[in-house]
Structure 1
């Protein structure tokens, strides 16, 4: 590897002055301590500034054509780390003040004192290198922060997937427990009798299959809603009353087959909110279906009510299902999930629906207790 010469270690100074004798004098004065490049015009100086990236610039403000102020502005735009010392005479003192306000670090009055010039340029070089070091440190820090954000996003995605998996298991646990209980009863009977033995056991088998169908339906709904949340939404004006009527009408056939009741009361003057209609419909439909499934376990009822207050439209979905203990669920999900996560949705379905509601400025709250059912409260500001 070739050894770098001492000349290459010297700081590089760009001198821009229209006087050839002055440029030569500066070169002779500084060449032992600096590498000197000179330019007779500001345009030539800017080309050298761009190509050579000097450690300091010595700039005469009074130049033919484009003056030193123009060059100063251009240099500050291109590389604000380079320290610039301006040359000025007593008559150009006001221009020198303007140059300082534009970012020049130092100014030197003509005629130039050699020692003062060297001291000033050394300070310029130190300032430039310090600025460059700081910029490099900031760039490295930004890179580290960017890498950290990317890593955190990966971990957050994994955490969301884990939370969805845990809450999906919770969502499916009740219907699966009921289905397994029915199947176990049938197994005990068949092990002793060898046949279905009558309509009672046949009904148990039918109920078990219906419970499993509900699990499959819930998985499908939650998968669709989860995917929709990751996609870009398209907000527009959505009629709350029309949306609720459509969702409740679609649920009527299932309600009749399940032998439960659905009481719908829409007491609003057809207010509108701004949201993605497909995503909002999926979220509210998911809340209603969860309530219907919960009520079907106990042969209970579901109430869907919507009222309009002065500054908000409020939605309430209440079921008379088994309910759940939010405190117990919170303890079961620790340390990964807080009680606040659980309260915003006792299960993946309500959690995802709550995210949709909150995305469009709404509030979302769940009340539930064992044996007392679950109530979901939603409010959208108008």
Structure 2
């Protein structure tokens, strides 16, 4: 009979060959049997085979059954243990019950009795084991549910806070932009010459105020895909714009490479959202390489079938494989990825998927990271976005 068809595992520990073999012959058709002639050998089998029931003689050389009973209970408190006792050892057998044995059988044992006792305690051990497994699964489910509830609560709170934040930020940004326009106008009206450095400062202020305004609008639009904002986007130019913004704050080497794709390549999308997604990937790459001796970030644009493929590669510190499974979860902060609220990659993935694309993250510690984004080209995307219903998952 195959082991998987048997009802359980039984370990017999007895220094006498006769009782050992008798038990094996009686039980072998229903159970997987393991034999040991001394306590220490039985302990080894207990650790390796994890039996449902241990049948052990009380009187043995080297170590007695009582000593073995105590060791077994220290190793596995839940395994069932039945002691074998000879005539005149009833008091010792009863003492074994007090030390943690489940039952005892008197030699010479009756076949029907031994089968009934073994069946009873094997089933009891298996029931305990299933109960323990169920408790572990329940605990895991409870912990998982707790994490999901926590994320939901955070996202709900963040949504309410973001709505207030967007309203609060739009007014001062509008005022700053107004004063900036007024300053430029006054300088032109008075025909006052400004240095190249001053012009650069003004350009940077205007550029970053514009970016802040875009981010505010992007936050406001998060969670709803606006079909009215779909337009043809020049992805090489958009990538270069993102690099230019990042390059103003760092000395890192950036490059955009085109493989089998023209500089005027276009895709259909919502500009603010796509730019924000690319910016998040580049910002993450910048953080990953900022402490490297020769930091490099490359964006590789190519065609793969009917899709545009964007690869953002860095030679940074990489991400541990244990963290990769959580990398797109909201509020997942890592030392090498997000240093903010832990929403960057979560938002990026959401934006890419709303554009009928996909995002893949590959990373190795000390080797770097490559994020691959696939997006449908403009002609293909027209079919996807012909109506709002086309975005509803099948």
TM-score, with length taken from structure 1: 0.41
TM-score, with length taken from structure 2: 0.40
Whichever structure has more helix as a proportion of its residues is: 1
Larger radius of gyration: 1
